[in-house]
Structure 1
Amino acid sequence: MRDTRFDSRSSEWIGDMTVWLRETAEDNHDQLERLRRNLRRAREQELTPRQREVLALYYDRGLKMSQIARKLGINRSTVSRTIGRAKQRLYRYLQYTL
């Protein structure tokens, strides 16, 4: 069986490819900015107040679902379902705005 360890030339090649990919990649700054803007709009317009609150605690503040459940006095499964439904609404909204 042949030895497949990386030698210095193969790692040089990988480095060269990485640099080439970085230099030739398209600039997607405008697309990302539009996505962020639409996501902010969707959070305000499409979600219920409870969904906005739960998403803010989960994604913006980084709380775990069990912590959110304790804080809001609801079951962890309710938090999970609320996040899932909110994500579905956001995906559906963003699908038509992109």
Structure 2
Amino acid sequence: MNQISLDAKGGQFLADLANWQRESAPDNSADLERLRRNLRFARQQVLTKRQQQMLELYYDQGLTMGQIAAKLHLNRSTVCRTLQRARERLYACLRYTL
């Protein structure tokens, strides 16, 4: 969980968070690197263990919500709500760094 995969959905999540920067600045690699560092910290400090686990399965390993639900013996809606809450907590933590 310390490494964030930028090849799968995790890269899309970072891109969505930094979308406004891409539109306003052609070279924002330093900003994106700062966002990656802050995201790693936020995942470890702000999220619950369950949220960390689901984010890892969804973004880093590329599993679908249905696959995560089956693997963890949960309802798909529980996975969806947990991922949404995790994204909201991350955004609340990172909104001042964007």
TM-score where L is the length of structure 2: 0.72
How many pairs are equivalent?
74
Alignment correspondent of 1:47: 47
Q: Within 2, Cα distance between the matches of 1:30 and 1:68? A: 33
Alignment correspondent of 2:71: 71
Considering Cα pairs closer than 8 Å and 6+ residues apart, tell me whether 1 or 2 has the greater RCO.
Answer: 2
Alignment correspondent of 1:87: 87
Residue 29 of structure 1 deviates from its aligned partner by 1.0
Deviations 1:18-52 (A, max 9, x none): xxxxxxx6321110000000001000000000000
Alignment correspondent of 2:22: none
Larger radius of gyration: 1
Gaps of 5+ in 2: 1-24
Matched, 1:34 2:27: no
Gaps of 5+ in 1: 1-24
- Higher helix proportion: 1
Q: Within 2, Cα distance between the matches of 1:74 and 1:29? A: 38
TM-score where L is the length of structure 1: 0.72
